[in-house]
Amino acid sequence: MKRAVTLTINGEAISSEIEPRTTLVDFLREDVMLTGTHVGCEHGVCGACSVLLDGTPIRSCLLFAIQAEGHEVTTVEGLVEEDGSLGLLQDSFWETHAMQCGYCTPGMLIAAYGLLAESADPTEAEIREAISGNLCRCTGYVQIVDAVRLAAARMRQQ
Amino acid sequence: MTDTTPRIYVSTKRRPKEDGRFVSGAGRFVADIARPGMLHVALVTSPYPAAQIINVDTSVAAACPGVVTILAGPELANATAPLANAVDTPGVKIFPLAQSTVRYVGEWVVAVAAETRAMAEDAAELVEIDYDPMPFVVDPTEALGPSSPPVHSDHGNNILYDRVFTWGPVTDDFTISPHQLSFHVRWGRSATVPIETFGVIAEWGAGNQILDVWASIQMPSYPEQIASSLKIPLNRVRVHYDVDVGGSYGVKRGIKHTILVGYLARKLSRPIRLIEDRLENMTGGDMHGPDRRFDVSVAFDAQGVIRSLKLRALEDVGAQTGRAPFQLGKPVSAIVGAYRINSVEYHATAVSTNKTGQTAVRGFGMSPTNVALEMAVDKVARYLSLSRLTVRRRNFIRAYEFPYRIPSGSEYDSGNYHTVLAKARDLSNLDKLLARRDAARALGYVAGIGLATCLEPGGGNSAFEPLLNPKNETTTWPESCAIKVDRTGRVTATIATSSSGQGHQTLVATIIGEELEIDPDQIQVLHSDTLSALPGNTPVASRMAIMLGGAAAGAARKIRERVIQIGAHNLGCGLDDVIYCNGRVVRVGYGGQFITLDHIALIAHREFHNLPPGLSEPGLQAIHVEQVPQGGTLPKSDGRVQMYPCYSFAAHMVYAEIDRLTGKVSLEDYSIAHDCGTVINPDIVRGMVIGGAAHGIGAALYEEFVYNSAGQLLSGTFVDYVMPSAHEVPYIRVAEHCTPSPLTSHGQKGVGEGGYLGAPAAVMSAVNDALNPFGVECLELPLRASKLADLLAEAE
């Protein structure tokens, strides 16, 4: 039995008929075809599926898509500038090589984006706290911390 | 020896080519690929560590909506050949689905293929299987005994490999040494656990009769094993390498997954996809790593100079073997680490138990062995009341001794261990760290400093294959690169592998850019597929900078030679009258008269009349298949073998504090100095070193696949299998040293594994330095907080 859902994804109004048990991450990936958001553990630990819900980072594997009814969802694809170029945070991740395989990267970007929306000059401890719900098996986090610091510094200059 | 060669792009900070697609969400991982009409697989798995399968009833499940087929073991086994075994154990026959017995909790028994994954899971829950539980064995020491139930009854017992190697006068060296120490070390069952689980799609082409495979794979001989098990010609298997792999570090080896979907794809004539969920990945994915027990003895003199080493390694490979026993073989390549130990006895045993099988993990068995070796050095220092640095310096191979042949037969190419250790000491500011530790202790804190070094062999010829299985005569492991310069002068390279974060596109573009003196950003690097690719052996064993780098350099140098020939001819002069510079062939001394690469490419493709007389082949392209430096020979009868050409080195220094009540270890300060020869891309190398260390910190402190006495896995989720987050991994500082390898295109060595080889030993060293004032020690990884708290409580 399917149910209607209407929500905003990356600024665009989306309506769809889905099974109520469909998680938000499956909906994003399979119905909306936004495959930038990744599935890691499906039990809310690894953070690979992080998206912004009304500006706050959440786990899209722990939310049913119908629970997002009427909300605004932002995925990694929505972090680009209006002209399609990379956002400042994305560019900073590239500049410091804050990734290797790239699988956790979208979730990391979402977590860092949430932090920088709240804090213009976060300390290393605050950065680590913000990304501590996102597991990365490649980098050891150092170049991710560097990237968030760099992005914050660049944002302050803007 | 240091590297003073002028470079344009190599060793220069440049943004990795790959990162742009990852930060924009445009990576293409296997779960992002959807084929038209694709079916999805879910699995029914064994709840028992050992049992007979009495009956499988699929009638209710088969009637569920969306179900297309339900497959059990006997049908699959009849149609396919068993999966490959590393060692010569013909009685061990593994198929993707259990036949009449199950051998571990989580073993696949039935596969359901349906229109969606959700439908497949719904139906899988309704498959009824009757089991008759059988005796099983969980403890590897018990499994050695003659009364233990054999995991594979046709094999007769649980010993899959057992050999004692003796290199040099071990007995004499022990006799003449005034001091000896013996101890046990335990490496717990952990793995690399990538955030992306394994996934694969197979599609059989009715028209072209080709099996197309897209997979999250990092495995040598993958297409060969697919063809062999599915009994189809190798040139009908096409593995697509243009799939981003979401982390692997060794484990992404889903051969049984691939045989299962490959069979179903042919049977149903529809594309089939299997993406593991996390529980399938943790229990049944064949992805557990080494689980090893060591007995170590060292013989040494009053100065702490170690003369001889006895190492007994018992490896619990679980119920599915694959390449796992080979992980006892790789440590032979650097069995004495960085030290001038004169003789070694190495007793290697692989035993099967009723647990999830073992697969390759970063370092391929080296990291556990390095823990055993480094703890021996620490113990010698403590026994003689010498500093751990001093003992290491006294035992290090001297810089002037390279190339240096170790007792087990391998020759180390180059190195300067004393200098790298000094760099680690300085980076860590050791005097301040010692003062910090002593001040903390004075205040009642449990504090310690850890030190470990490690050798990282790179670029091997897989000589552990013939070493552990004489029927396997592998003596080379080539890697290839093809370059074409098109009619407009644009350069495209193709490589024969997928990548799982190592940055191979960056590596190849940088090296070709260096050789052809053109901007690497303008060079296209494509991951090909197995039918169009030249020979390759995937990014394992820290080999790609050496082997793929060598292949790219070799092909680029052939292009350059041809460009110079065509250029000189068209400038009307001889080869000695021109130089190649910045994408141009320039005639020396003629006012800068030159011809561009673009123009030469056009001549090569279109103007045969302008080619030099000797050049009969149009176009501008080259291939190079790189042979392993130092490769090509089989092991000697005593097991001595040249296993790897290049040896990187690292020294780790770490400061740790342990919470007295909870036993929680905090790594407060961490420094690494390392030497991987010439660095190709500094950011990639730094990331590899730090990331490897983080992974080693996980193995040292947190990660373990825990089994209870009933054979049940207790840590099958990310809540129970704890991996380090940004809270647990400190801001690791890195210093580099460069001793170029004399054997590679630009002096480069391997770097992907060193962090993981050093960190577990360094953390164990720090924890035991902290425990030392309490008169206790812990030589069991992971160093669980609960264990340390108990030890401290008992000591007080």
Give the tens place of pLDDT for each residue, B463-493.
899 999 999 999 999 999 999 999 999 999 9
Tell me how many domains chain B contains: 3
Which has the closest alpha carbon to B158: B142, B171, B172?
Answer: B142
**What average pLDDT does this structure show over B507-527?**
98
**What average pLDDT does this structure show over B577-590?**
94
Residue B321 predicted with pLDDT over 80:
no
Q: Is residue B556 part of a domain?
A: yes
Same domain, residue pair B242 and B329: no
Nearest CA in chain B to A22: B118
Q: Is residue B414 part of a domain?
A: yes
Q: Is residue B780 part of a domain?
A: yes
CB pairs under 8 A between A and B: 177
Torsion B91-B94-B100-B104 (CA) sign? positive
Q: Is residue B664 part of a domain?
A: yes
Same domain, residue pair B537 and B599: yes
* Residue B207 burial (C-beta neighbours within 10 Å; 0-12, 13-18, 19+): exposed
pLDDT in tens, B299-313: 999 999 999 999 999
CATH (domain of B52): 3.90.1170.50
Contact B23 A94 (CB under 8 A): yes
Same domain, residue pair B787 and B689: yes
To 10 degrees, what angle do helices B544-570 and B504-516 make? 30
Nearest CA in chain B to A81: B24
Q: What is the pLDDT of residue B352?
A: 96
Q: What is the overall mean pLDDT for chain B?
A: 96
Which has the closest alpha carbon to B241: B573, B506, B499, B468?
Answer: B499
B251, B362 contact by CB (below 8 A): no
Q: Tell me the domains of chain A and their CATH numbers.
A: 3-79 (3.10.20.30), 88-157 (1.10.150.120)
Same domain, residue pair B500 and B598: yes
Backbone angles phi and psi of B222, in degrees to 5: -65, -55
pLDDT band at B323 (very low <50, low <70, confident <90, very high): confident
pLDDT band at B2 (very low <50, low <70, confident <90, very high): low
Q: What is the pLDDT of residue B1?
A: 46
Same domain, residue pair B121 and B210: yes
User: Count of CB atoms within 10 A of residue B753's CB?
Assistant: 30
Backbone angles phi and psi of B773, in degrees to 5: -60, -20
User: Count of CB atoms within 10 A of residue B35's CB?
Assistant: 16
Same domain, residue pair B516 and B420: no
Residue B580, CB half-sphere, CA atoms under 13 Å: how many?
20
Same domain, residue pair B519 and B484: yes
CA distance A145 to chain B (A): 9
Q: Is residue B96 part of a domain?
A: yes
Q: Is residue B560 part of a domain?
A: yes
Nearest CA in chain B to A133: B725
Q: What is the pLDDT of residue B320?
A: 83
pLDDT in tens, B787-796: 999 999 999 8
pLDDT band at B237 (very low <50, low <70, confident <90, very high): very high
Same domain, residue pair B453 and B482: no
Give the span between the Cα atoms of B775 and B326, in whole angstroms. 37
Same domain, residue pair B428 and B485: no
Contact B25 A106 (CB under 8 A): yes
Give the span between the Cα atoms of A4 and B490, in whole angstroms. 51
> If you count them, how many residues does chain A have?
158
Give the containing element (helix H, strand E) for B602.
Answer: helix B597-606
Q: Is residue B433 part of a domain?
A: yes
pLDDT in tens, B682-727: 999 999 999 999 999 999 999 999 999 999 999 999 999 999 999 9
* Residue B592 burial (C-beta neighbours within 10 Å; 0-12, 13-18, 19+): exposed
Nearest CB among B27, B684, B688 relative to A102 is that of B27
Q: Is residue B631 part of a domain?
A: no
Nearest CB among A39, A100, A135 relative to B687 is that of A100
Sorted by sequence, the CB contacts under 8 Å of residue B333 that are 6+ apart come out as: B408, B410, B457, B460, B463, B464, B641, B643, B644
Same domain, residue pair B415 and B482: no
Contact B726 A145 (CB under 8 A): yes
Same domain, residue pair B455 and B557: no
CA distance B29 to chain A (A): 8
A96, A146 contact by CB (below 8 A): yes
Q: What is the pLDDT of residue B282?
A: 95
CATH (domain of B561): 3.30.365.10
Q: How far is CA B604 from CA B553, B565, B587, B607, in A?
A: 21, 11, 19, 6
Same domain, residue pair B614 and B649: no
Residue B5 predicted with pLDDT over 80:
no
Q: Is the ipTM of this complex over 0.90?
A: yes
Q: How far is CA B559 from the centre of its chain?
A: 32
Q: State which residues form the domain around B585.
A: 19-26+478-626
Nearest CB among A21, A97, A106 relative to B16 is that of A97
